[in-house]
Chain A
Amino acid sequence: MSKRYDSVDDFVELSSELTGFSVAELEGTGLAESHFTEVRELVGERIFGRLLITWDKIRNESKSSKARQTGIHKEIFGSEWGDLLGPIALNIVRLWYLGNWFQMPREWRHKYGAAANDQTRVVSAEAYREGLVWDAICAYPTAAKQPGFGSWAFPPEDPYEKKAATSRTTKTRARKKKST
């Protein structure tokens, strides 16, 4: 039996590589399923399948995240399929980050057709609230997820440095353990 390339898992894995958010973080938004359906319906099953097949190839051929990134740039944006798949991949990132669908570029629409629903819009209030951009910049969406009185008086957290800091503390602790 041939593998089917239309699973939400494949979509989320690709999304993870495109957005820089882990699969768990993406699942945590509760939007994996609806974003999947949204994109599939907007670009059509056949084209969507093509994107996921390409992703499967990249995944199988790359051992590291770096290799996967190179693969994405080469296979999705740079190959003969570039003008078909590139704009979709970008729109997937925009969808996750902003909760907005942006109408596909005119050229794309002319060549590959487009769903009636292919209009620039906020896909839902939830998609807006769960937009990844707010997490990425360590803020929170305007009019939602308020962080509480006075929280703004402190320096913003730096999630990127924090990772380094935690691993440092773990190390220190480990070292301390040794010495006792």
Chain B
Amino acid sequence: MINYEKGIEATPEEVAEKVSKDYYDVIIVGAGFAGSILAKELGKGAKKVLILEAGRSTSIRPEGYDSYVTRFQEALAKTPNSPYPENPNAPQSSVLFQRQIQAGQAVDNGYQVYLGPQPFMSTFTRLTAGTSLHWLGTSMRMVPSDFEMSKRFGRGVNWPISYTDLQPYYQDAEYEIGVSADVEEQLRDIQNPEDKGNYFEKGYEYPMHQIPKTHLDKWLGKKLEGKSFEMEGKKYPMQVVGTPQSRNGMPNPKYADSPYNKRKKRGHYVPRGGVHDPRMGQRCEGNTACVPICPVMAKYNGLKSLYSADPEKVDLLTQAVVTNIEIDPKTQQVSGLDYTVYDSETSAAPGNYQKFVARTRKGGAYIVAAHAIETAKLLLQSGTPATGNNEKCGGVANSSDMVGRNLMDHPYLLTWGLVPRGTRLGVLRGPLVSSEVPMRDGAFRDAHAAFRGDVRNGGWDFAAGAPYSNVLGLLAPGDGKNPVLGSKLRRQLYEDVQRQLSFGFEIEQLPDPANRVMIREEYRDKLGAYRPVIRYDMGEYSIRGMQAAKRLSDSILKEVGGVDHTVYQESDTGYVFHYEDGKKVGYTFHGSGHIVGTHRMGTNRGDSVVNSDQQTWDHENLYLVGCGNFPTIGTSNPSLTAAALAFKCADHLIKKVL
């Protein structure tokens, strides 16, 4: 076990001294999902690394991490950010501040400012390990067609790299974040035979076997066997496929002999448990709490990479908010990062701030990995801040005017129904999601969004607040009298909850430059840094995807003899509509937390912010890493791909730059 006392944490004084001696090869902004992996890899490559992290270090210590778990249990509104205390010096977004937006009236009572027409429904966290603390852990690769949306379907743009370019790095990522999955099942929804043949390296296996499917997954799988679903005149199988997950399962003995693992000269895969107590979390124990925090750390989080980073090479400075990227006007290279260190007692009080500049040695590199929204915001507020309401560029790395634009998420469409009386689905057991019904790939993508339907193990938890709502409902029935009490209440709860079936569809969204993160003079946080101002809309391509997803849900419910209970109301936050055969039909979307696109990768400096090495076109020694680099979103949860890109960037830096 690594003793955190001797770990990678550094003090502001130590860092200042090392900076004055031109010590660091690389400085990374953000110790989140991508930043942690980058730091570890660069450290392994013998580079001297400094990470500046805006959030507190609480999660690094066992007591601190546990306090998050308790805080969640005590929270009345168990939202994704409920374990993580508000920090006015490094504020974060919260679902509690999302509202419908009336024309022209910004919703600005939370950290993020929503301009509309739709609220942006996803959130992130700012603390050590970043949003990886409360992510769900779903980790499938993207499919090859996702990289060629324009070429194959005439929609969106192509990536400057192909699936094949990224494939080796996917293997690195799957090792580092520990993915449990089944190779054969992952191939099932890939339509093009050539794509299928090249999806995995021959002989590849995931480090761990697929997490056992829940009783519900298996029940549904049997019911749907041999059934198909038609889209744009073509039939696709309705199948229940195991979801790749970054949570510990049974190690796959065949992994040791896979060509990849042999090249790396590694032996059998050993799951990495909790960083504070490695005996814990060796296997997922079924807390059903992956979002917002896994009590035993069976789920990957950035702490695992930070703890295994070389403490001789990597320094982590927390409570250090980077506020400006300095550019040398002559060389157009980054000459330093301005950051503010706040003390730990400053929640409400004015606070004690110290200002510093961090510089690498000559020829070093700067990497911003502060999350798709914060990275874009930091670029926009640096140099001459791009605060104007006009469309003129400003900020740093923004000659293309693409910084902050093409913001995408997976709008998350919930559907819910009840299966026949007497059925026992085994609701609220196991990881929140362990299987899906995928419609990720196919010719229909020229007409509407692709999507994946999570089979939700939590029943109507997200859709209707089960099981709380069930208790409250039975105690206060419609007539206000005659509450259901005693053994009747107990039994009725069981019967009702066991019949709850619900799907959560991740719907693809296209890049639209008008969907964007901006900054405005009037919106600042306590430190004086800008707050993200977001303009966001849905687009017909996605709404038509929602239409198809709802139709799929209806078909599934029909197959299992269930009844749909889904309701979308015009008063819902996230309500969008379009016309189906001349009739107005609406859908309500939520956020997935899959925030991408805001500093996209491309083939030329005119239409993108970074090249395929994730180096900014405008400043040679400035790199951006994270989901903001994605030109399109596909249907995969983005973090595995972001991790693969982090490996690619580290590889490039070690081999070619530093």
Contacts and interface: CB of A to CB of B under 8 A. Distances in A.
Given A94-B472, A155-B426, A18 B485 contact: yes
Interface of B: 69-70, 72-76, 78, 212-215, 218, 249, 283-289, 293, 295-296, 424-431, 434, 457, 467-468, 470-472, 475-476, 481-483, 485-491, 493-494, 497-498
Contacts of B289: 142-143
Contact of B429 (A18, A136, A144, A152): A152
13 contacts: A19-B485, A77-B483, A122-B75, A122-B76, A128-B74, A133-B471, A134-B467, A136-B494, A140-B429, A147-B285, A153-B430, A156-B424, A156-B427
Contacts of B73: 122, 125, 128-129, 141, 143-144
Among B430, B476, B488, find the residue whose CB has the most chain A CB atoms closer than 10 A. Answer: B430
Nearest to A101: B76
Query: In terms of DSSP, what is the predominant structure of the interface of chain B?
Result: loop
A160 B285 CA distance: 25
Interface string A121-162: 110110011001110111111111011111111111011100
Contacts, number: 156
Contacts of B471: 93-94, 97-98, 133
A139 B76 contact: no
Contacts of A143: 69, 72-73, 287-289, 293, 295
A85 to B, nearest CB: 13
Contacts of B75: 122
B83 to A, nearest CB: 9
Among B74, B215, B434, find the residue whose CB has the most chain A CB atoms closer than 10 A. Answer: B74
Interface residues of A, number: 49
A152 B482 contact: no
A133 B69 contact: no
A160 B491 CA distance: 7
Nearest to A150: B212
Interface of A: 17-21, 65, 69, 72-73, 77, 90, 93-94, 97-98, 100, 120-122, 124-125, 128-129, 132-134, 136-144, 146-156, 158-160
B63 to A, nearest CB: 15
A137 B295 contact: no
A137 B296 CA distance: 24
Contact of B283 (A18, A73, A149): A149
A152 B212 contact: yes
Contacts of B76: 100, 120-122
Given A152-B214, A153-B218, 13 more contacts: A20-B487, A122-B75, A139-B467, A140-B286, A140-B428, A142-B287, A142-B288, A143-B293, A152-B212, A152-B457, A153-B430, A155-B426, A156-B215
